[in-house]
Amino acid sequence: MTTQLWRSLLYLPASNARAIEKARTLDCDVAVLDLEDAVAPEMKAEARAAAVEAVHSGGFGPRLGVRINGLDTEWGAKDLKALSETNVGLIVAPKVESAEAVRELNAALPASAALIAMIETPAALMRLESIAGVGGALAGLMLGVNDLAATLGTGPAADREPLKPWLAATVAAAKMHGLIALDGVFNRIEDGDGLAAECAQGRLYGFDGKSLIHPSQIAAANAAFAPSPAEVEQAEAIVAAFADPTADGKGAIRVGGAMVERLHLASAERLLARHRMATGG
């Protein structure tokens, strides 16, 4: 899963037929049909059936996933049972709080599906390393910032000051185990500048992409979590410098007035691989 792009993961309500149809045409990296927050209790069964039908029908440009209801609700197990008969590629599980919960999900997932575990509660924060280390189908961690802020009781802050330790901790736990790290949603749909700033913050902290709630947010996320032209130029210079015969046997060399080591070479090669995926090159 880590060889794929995760810049933009867009939630769409599975109860909305127009949203499902629109998802087939969007340029997000992952489209996720939502059975949880976006669906009222009386619509859960209808939304579940619609999600199953959408997976069977296919035709999606983005990779397609489904966010199920929590296994501690009356709908979660039914969601997994219905999806077990499909070839859905991704399951997003809300409010994962323990390694045991990940193992329970692993045992019930469709054989085709990878798992993204949402980190949304203080209990999950205290068990990040054990959650991330379960393995199996677990492909990534997603920080659920709305629920997390509510359960922590934090106040609003434009730069997410109260959540900064948990942004960093989530990325560290994910990267320790080779998982994808996905940033939480940005609620103010009309605030383009705020979205761009939060995407840049997420990229700075090491997230691989951002979860989104509206198609208008896709372009900002795709731009923020793709290598910039300056980054590509620098990475190409590092790769070229280490490829020069004069660099043979050297652990560190000078590139553009700075000393770079072979760990920078590995980072440069990963960045260029993401750039090729993003541009189709």
As a dihedral over the C-alpha atoms of residue 143, residue 18, residue 51, residue 39, rounded to 10 degrees, the angle is: 60
CA dihedral 173, 72, 162, 8 (to 10 degrees): 60
Angstrom distance (rounded) from CA 5 to CA 77:
29
Q: Contacts by 54-57 with C-beta closer than 8 Å and gap 24+?
A: 54/14, 54/20, 54/23, 55/83, 55/86, 55/87, 55/88, 56/86
Mark the binding-site residues for substrate, compressed into ranges: 67, 120
Can you say which residues are annotated as belonging to the binding site for Mg(2+)?
Answer: 120, 147
R_g of the chain computed on alpha carbons: 20
Which residues carry a binding-site annotation? 67, 120, 147
End-to-end CA distance of the chain: 19
What is the number of other CB atoms lying within 10 angstroms of the CB of residue 87?
Answer: 13
